[in-house]
Amino acid sequence: DWKFWHGKRTSALETYARLYEELAAQDDAEVVVQAIFDQPQPLPNIAGVRALPEPDAEGPDSLLLEFSVNERGRVTNLERLDEHPHLDDKAEDVARRIRQTLFRPRFSDGMPVPTDKVRWAYDISHW
């Protein structure tokens, strides 16, 4: 992730491919590979320096956003799905931060692939 986050995409993809191969040799390969590569992950994904707060479970008062992440880790097609005008200011801030964040893309068969309809909810009443 460090390489990918710092623009060394080719080197990062080689490292991801090696990791994918090594994991495939383990007994619980499918579970481990899914846990790591099944969903796009915002970078950096290190405790204390994460670019984004963890999404919450959807609730009736949640800020709700849906977006795609392309195979290069960039956010596209970000849409706001909730109808809570009192959240407008915070929603713009969160949406801007998501658009600016590089993601580790989802991987399939060892290759980065686009992901549509990533849906994140935030309870921003305590922000």
pLDDT in tens, 52-106: 888 999 988 899 999 999 999 999 999 999 999 988 988 999 999 999 999 999 9
pLDDT at 20: 86
Please state, in angstroms and rounded to a whole number, the distance separating the CA atoms of residues 74 and 12.
15
Whether the model clears a pTM of 0.75, i.e. scores above it, the answer is yes
Looking at the predicted structure, is the pLDDT value of residue 19 above 80?
yes
- How confident is residue 126, by pLDDT bands cut at 50, 70 and 90? low
pLDDT at 54: 86
Please state, in angstroms and rounded to a whole number, the distance separating the CA atoms of residues 56 and 62.
8
pLDDT at 112: 95
Phi (first) and psi of residue 126, to 5 degrees: -100, 5
